Amino acid sequence: MLTAGSACRPLLLPCAAQGKNKVTKKFGAVKRMIAKSDPRLKQVQEKLIEKQKKDEKKELVRHIPQVASSLFFQHNEALVPPYQVIVDTNFINFSIQNKLELVKSMMDCLLAKCIPCITDCVMAELEKMGLKYRLALKVARDPRFERLPCTHKGTYADDCIVNRVMQHKCYIVATCDKDLKRRIRKIPGVPIMYIAAHKYAIERLPEIPM
């Protein structure tokens, strides 16, 4: 029998009668991607371009290496007889192929006394090449060659020669390597000796004293 107090109370049902909320799992849910034509992407790209332009303007102020005092309008006054000629590996090999004696051919080209110079890394390259280049190694060991000691790590001769002629402007570089020629041409006042028509030729030596 219901009383006045019990009429206001809510009717409680057992748990089984209430039931459970069913949660369905989402399969194949894909994250939303920004379209390539979205205007927000264009704004980001414009900001990046502006930032790159600002960075380029900052990079324009570079450290300019000091030009050697011996240079006067690209003419190197430190180059005087007897000429010191740094030879690389392929110059010795091409000289042997063209049957050219290094010291005599250099003197015929420059009309002055020449001292062939060879670095430790060039000697190391020739020693690594094995028996096929034993004649080139024999030529490099000639007592008339001046040996230039190397203090750097590794045996990559091109970097060694470039660094040496940048520091000391008293050398001529003898090479037939196109890449090394291109690098040497960027250094003012350093002549290049090469082989052309079965004889030695000189490049960028303004005046040869007679």
Structural domain harbouring 155: 85-203
| Domain membership flag for residue 176 | yes
Do 189 and 209 form a contact (C-beta atoms < 8 A)? no
| Domain membership flag for residue 32 | no
- The CATH number given to whatever domain includes residue 197 is 3.40.50.1010
Measure the CA–CA gap between 87 and 174, rounded to whole angstroms: 5
| Domain membership flag for residue 114 | yes
pLDDT of residue 132: 86
Whole-number percent of the chain with pLDDT over 70:
71
| Domain membership flag for residue 4 | no
Query: Which residue has 């570089």 as its token pair?
Result: 173
| Domain membership flag for residue 178 | yes
pLDDT of residue 5: 53
Residue 86 has pLDDT above 80, yes or no: yes
| Domain membership flag for residue 121 | yes
Any long-range contacts for 136-139 (C-beta under 8 Å, 24+ apart)?
A: 136/89, 136/92, 136/93, 136/96, 139/92, 139/95, 139/96, 139/102
- Amino acid residing at 89: T
Task: Note the pTM of the prediction, 2 decimals.
Answer: 0.65
| Domain membership flag for residue 76 | no
Tokens matching residue 33: 């991607």
Average pLDDT over the chain reads 81
Measure the CA–CA gap between 131 and 113, rounded to whole angstroms: 32
Do 172 and 191 form a contact (C-beta atoms < 8 A)? yes
Q: Choose between 120 and 59: higher pLDDT.
A: 120
When mean pLDDT is compared across 8-12, 44-48, 66-70, 161-165, the lowest value belongs to: 8-12
Residue 38 has pLDDT above 60, yes or no: yes
pLDDT digits (tens, 9 = 90+) for 129-167: 888 889 999 999 999 999 999 888 776 889 999 999 998
pLDDT of residue 143: 94
Q: Choose between 22 and 122: higher pLDDT.
A: 122
pLDDT digits (tens, 9 = 90+) for 193-204: 999 999 999 998
Q: Choose between 23 and 32: higher pLDDT.
A: 32
Which residues have C-beta within 8 Å of that of residue 41, sequence separation ≥ 6?
34
pLDDT digits (tens, 9 = 90+) for 106-132: 999 999 999 999 999 999 999 998 888
Give me the number of domains the chain comprises.
1
